[in-house]
Amino acid sequence: MVQEHKLIMVVEDEEDILALLQFNLMKAGYEVSCAARGVEALEKIAAKRPDLVLLDLMLPGIDGLEICRRLRADPSTADVPIIMLTAHGEEEDIVRGLELGADDYVTKPFSFKVLQARIQTVLRRNPDTDTPAEDDTFCCGDLQIHPGRNQVLVAGEPAELTFTEFRVLLTLASRPGWVFTRYQIVNAVRGDDYAVTDRAVDVQIAGLRKKLGSCGRYIETVRGVGYRFQENL
């Protein structure tokens, strides 16, 4: 199996969680490197580039967000996938982490199965195929999105979306199951200089859901964090 050769760096200061993760990841066939402190994590990552980082946010000293920022700022680690390990009530940090470039997060306590599924998704991910090609039609139940034609069909009928609504939908649907923060949505749709408010995105989403009718349910609100396209309903 491919995953046998993947190196996962686990950054976690709680010893029991660290030990449990190490045990389960090794059992699942991954190579595992561990760090309980930010400095140690950065040193180990610099010495040997991991294929993925599991990153606890609440760490003594250099915290998870700062590690995330530094990894993204360094060209040699800019594209190493990061899954944040977060606690309940850390929504603001989750939002910041996603905006700093973390790929995903799981909230403690999590089942190892869930974490493993996220790891596999992130490791499989190919940045080149994230966005559907112009001619690719995206289908999900009664919903059809034709990127090249700027067209959306709900149960065969065209939905009259504004260009912005269309771009928001395309952004979310390009990575089903992944959470986008409002800021990320606006960036994807308008570029970096558009002055954004959370409210502006919420209004787009509300309009989009209404126009999509029965397919509006695919757009899920992730409380305190943002939105995601959920196809497995």
Residue (56 or 165) nearer to Ca ion, CB: 56
Interface with Ca ion by CB under 5 A: which range of 6-14, 89-97, 126-134, 152-160? Answer: 6-14
Does residue 158 have a cis peptide bond before it, meaning omega lies within 30 degrees of 0?
no
Dihedrals phi, psi of 104, to nearest 5 degrees: -165, 180
Contact in structure between 35 and 65 (CB atoms under 8 Å): no
Interface with Ca ion by CB under 5 A: which range of 56-64, 92-100, 160-168, 178-186? Answer: 56-64
Residue (57 or 80) nearer to Ca ion, CB: 57
Residue 17 binding Ca ion, by CB under 5 A: no
Q: Residues in contact with Ca ion, total (CB under 5 A)?
A: 3
Beta strands 138-140 and 52-56 are unpaired
Q: What is the DSSP-derived secondary structure letter of residue 77?
A: T
Taking CB under 5 A as the criterion, the residue among 7, 13, 62, 70 binding Ca ion is 13
* Pairwise CA distance, residues 56 & 65, whole Å: 9
Mask for 57-86, x = binds Ca ion (CB under 5 A): -x----------------------------
Taking CB under 5 A as the criterion, the residue among 28, 56, 90, 219 binding Ca ion is 56
Dihedrals phi, psi of 55, to nearest 5 degrees: -125, 110
Residue (17 or 122) nearer to Ca ion, CB: 17
* Pairwise CA distance, residues 17 & 158, whole Å: 50
Residue 90 binding Ca ion, by CB under 5 A: no
The CB-of-36 to Ca ion minimum distance in angstroms stands at: 9
Rg over alpha carbons for the chain, rounded to the nearest Å, is 19
Dihedrals phi, psi of 139, to nearest 5 degrees: -120, 140
User: Which residues are near Ca ion by CB under 5 A?
Assistant: 13, 56, 58
